Structure 1
Amino acid sequence: MSNMAAVRKALIAAAVAAFAALLGRAFLQIKEISLSSREIPVKRLNCQHLKNIDYGAEDITILKDGLAFLSTGLKYPGLPSFSDEPGKMYVLDLLQPKMSPVELQIKGQLDLKSFNPHGISVYEDETDDSIYVFVVNHPEHKSQVEIFRFEEEDTLVHLKTITHSLLHSVNDIVAVGVEHFYATNDRYFQHEALQLLTFIFDLYWCEVVYYSPQEVRVVAGGFKSANGINISPDRQFIYVSDIMDHEIDIFKRNEEEQLAYVKSVAVGSLCDNIEVDHRTGDIWLGCHPNGLKLLKFDPEDPPGSEVIRIKNIHSERPILSLEYGDDGRQLMASTVAAPYEGKLLLGSVFHKALHCVL
């Protein structure tokens, strides 16, 4: 009996030691991934808060004619939310002197009570100048993509809801056709504890999925957490933000819509959505300089905001610059930076949105 007791004692001690080691690894991994010890850079611009946007504008995209679309009111697991109202879509004409976003009226069969918009993309059909707005939607924390047609000045007509087993945790999309898009999955597991294990054990299991009415398939993998996605002005390259790996990955589109990896550019921040200047091809990133502050959320020590710009991303030496930095007093938890002709729109997860002059 004494031998059995000794063996049992040794097994318990080994289990406790293994558990302690796992906790230690988890703590170090979370600190490293979240950049918890990083000081928030401060570099402000001439900015004003946009009217009507009080609960975040998680994604913003701007057409070549200066028409901006905003998704607002996102409720995302693990992150703060300060409104029980459903999410909304807004439009803003940057060529008009008055910077007041207008709420878009949504017509069709979509359940607006559970509307929870996340990443967005806009596709312009050159054959008839129609504008299609693609929206990632999380009703009851599920993932689906809504396709709308933009009509008149303030109306979205709902055309289609897309669901698929491969589109299981969609964060962002980039439209490449009337019903065609690439989408990022930001997590492998839906369960929070299992997803945490993928970070602890450094598992790169997230993917980019290509959708068309004819087929749906994985076209790129190996991401720790695939977040923002966008396309180059010549439409030959796809950019993906691996937010937990602190880098932007570049892929070449081929004829089969498969993505061929080109290279990665380290950004040193938790960069969320990607916008591309249609004139210069510069990459603009809305980033979280300290992820732990976002997860913990203390209004006395709020999560900050950071905007990073990348010039010449395809060259051997891309040029990274800090364009905006704030300690959370002006803008908390920035997610997107959309440039247009010397102007810049900044959005956030749950806070405000800014209009800035560069």
Structure 2
Amino acid sequence: MARGLLLLSLVVLALALVAERRAAFRNRFNASREVKPLDLLGCRLIKGIETGSEDLEILPHGLAFLSCGLKYPGIKSFAPHKPGEILLMDLNEEKPEPVVLPIHGDGLDRASLNPHGISTFTDEDNTVYLFVVNHPQFTTTVELFKFQEEERSLLYLKTIQHELLPNVNDIIAVGPEHFYATNDHYFSDPYLRSWELYLGLKWSNVVYYSPTQVREVAGGFDFANGINISPDGKYLYVAELLGHKIHVFEKLADGSLKARKALAFDTLVDNLSVDPTTGDVWVGCHPNGMKIFFYDPENPPPSEVLRIQNILSSNPTVTQVYAEEGSVLQGSTVASVYQGRLLIGTVFHRALYCEL
């Protein structure tokens, strides 16, 4: 009798734990949220982008880099066997269209290019370096390129790989070979990562990389995602996707980070872009993350863009700029502005160009 009661108690406990984990999982993924559309006038889909534009970065003079064709475990891909690309758009043109940037130099396997987060750094000589998070065969490397503006091409310089960068999501360059990166998972194995995701283990982190030192500078995130820096270089912003938060850190002289505050949202915050003039933070979001990870073409993932003004103040202003149920744009990841123009990218779908 006692053994039977013990067994029954264990079964009840196990069922309760499963129910609790399922409820927590749905809450983290915002599974019940519906989107009320908020359209922008003067928007058009960008011709030539059909397989995602996961991240983008705009140079001060209006040239925009876009990383396209990401293949990511558990995420939909409309072209799973096509190599990824880096595109360029000149936003100074009346009707800008993207072009594929040729890559020169030896040592990079272009057939396995699988670009994710990107970042640029411009040195004192106005040389532009492009950092690209890459997932060849679902490993993680960071590819460093020099942008050759006259030729409109990329020169491959080197590949960076490190044991503290097992599964990088996004990156922000702070020097010619210096950057901060978010690891969105601790494990690189897809099976182990799925359990890490399901159990809600807050093991993802931020790593500081330099040629002489690599170290973790922040941790305990539930899927660390987008990362960016304030225009004065004093503060770092980190998106915690499944925690529905953006964290603000003070960047110290030795590269360490000091936590200042966190902003909470009713959406899954993805990549972060910072307006270099105003300091406003633009965020590509997933209002319902369940639809991203469990794709249904009859019920596609919605899109959302937020603008955060005065993020360092005690009372930041958060404005919803764009929202759509997925009929036009599925799974927005990033939004960035340049002189009244807004670009919105997605994980695996299309990209939008809008006049604000």
Bin for the TM-score computed over the shorter chain: over 0.9
2:51 to 49, 55, 62: 55
Q: CA deviation at 1:300?
A: 1.3
Provide the residue aligned with 2:242 in structure 1: 244
Q: Which amino acid aligns with 1:16?
A: V
Provide the residue aligned with 1:71 in structure 2: 67
Provide the residue aligned with 1:3 in structure 2: none
Q: Residue 154 and residue 229 in structure 1: after superposition, are their counterparts in 2 closer, same or farther (change >3 A)? A: same
Provide the residue aligned with 2:169 in structure 1: 171
Q: CA deviation at 1:153?
A: 3.8
Unaligned runs of 5+ in 2: none
Q: CA deviation at 1:192?
A: 4.6
Q: Matches of residues 19-168 of structure 1 in structure 2 within 5 Å? A: 19-45=14-40, 46-83=42-79, 84-108=81-105, 109-126=107-124, 128-151=125-148, 152-168=150-166
Mapped partners of 1:12, 1:115: distance in 2: 52
Aligned residues with identical type, % of pairs: 49
Checking the alignment, whether the CA contact within 8 Å between 2:67 and 2:86 is kept in structure 1 is yes
Q: Residue 20 and residue 193 in structure 1: after superposition, are their counterparts in 2 closer, same or farther (change >3 A)? A: farther
Mapped partners of 1:118, 1:201: distance in 2: 25
Q: Residue 200 and residue 114 in structure 1: after superposition, are their counterparts in 2 closer, same or farther (change >3 A)? A: closer
Checking the alignment, whether the CA contact within 8 Å between 2:302 and 2:329 is kept in structure 1 is yes
Q: CA deviation at 1:19?
A: 2.5
1:276 to 269, 274, 279: 274
Checking the alignment, whether the CA contact within 8 Å between 2:166 and 2:187 is kept in structure 1 is no
Q: Give deviations 1:202-224, integer Å, cap 9, x for gaps.
A: 43221100000001001111211
Provide the residue aligned with 2:350 in structure 1: 352
Checking the alignment, whether the CA contact within 8 Å between 1:29 and 1:199 is kept in structure 2 is no
Q: Give deviations 1:69-123, integer Å, cap 9, x for gaps.
A: 0000000000000102010000111001131101000112200111100000010
Q: CA deviation at 1:199?
A: 4.8
Q: Give deviations 1:37-73, integer Å, cap 9, x for gaps.
A: 1111311112111111110000011011011000000
Q: Residue 55 and residue 199 in structure 1: after superposition, are their counterparts in 2 closer, same or farther (change >3 A)? A: closer
Q: Bigger shift: 313-322 or 15-24?
A: 15-24
Mapped partners of 1:199, 1:140: distance in 2: 21
Q: Give deviations 1:246-304, integer Å, cap 9, x for gaps.
A: 01000011110001101001122101100001110000000000011112211111100
Provide the residue aligned with 1:264 in structure 2: 262
Q: How many residue pairs end up in the alignment? A: 352
Q: CA deviation at 1:201?
A: 4.9
Unaligned runs of 5+ in 1: 1-5
Q: Give deviations 1:218-259, integer Å, cap 9, x for gaps.
A: 111121111000000001110000011001000011110001
DSSP-derived class of the 2:342 partner: strand
RMSD, aligned CA: 1.4
Mapped partners of 2:259, 2:194: distance in 1: 26
Q: Residue 292 and residue 260 in structure 1: after superposition, are their counterparts in 2 closer, same or farther (change >3 A)? A: same
DSSP-derived class of the 1:158 partner: strand
Mapped partners of 1:285, 1:308: distance in 2: 5
Q: Which amino acid aligns with 1:290?
A: N
Mapped partners of 1:153, 1:28: distance in 2: 53
The TM-score normalised by the length of structure 2 is: 0.96
Q: Residue 314 and residue 136 in structure 1: after superposition, are their counterparts in 2 closer, same or farther (change >3 A)? A: same
Mapped partners of 2:57, 2:279: distance in 1: 15
Matched, 1:319 2:314: no
Q: Which amino acid aligns with 1:124?
A: T
DSSP-derived class of the 2:54 partner: strand
Provide the residue aligned with 1:292 in structure 2: 290
Q: Bigger shift: 130-139 or 200-209?
A: 200-209
DSSP-derived class of the 2:19 partner: helix
Q: Bigger shift: 218-227 or 305-314?
A: 218-227
Q: Which amino acid aligns with 1:131?
A: V
Q: Matches of residues 222-241 of structure 1 in structure 2 within 5 Å? A: 222-241=220-239
Checking the alignment, whether the CA contact within 8 Å between 1:29 and 1:200 is kept in structure 2 is no
Mapped partners of 1:77, 1:112: distance in 2: 20
Q: Which amino acid aligns with 1:105?
A: P
Q: Which amino acid aligns with 1:42?
A: P
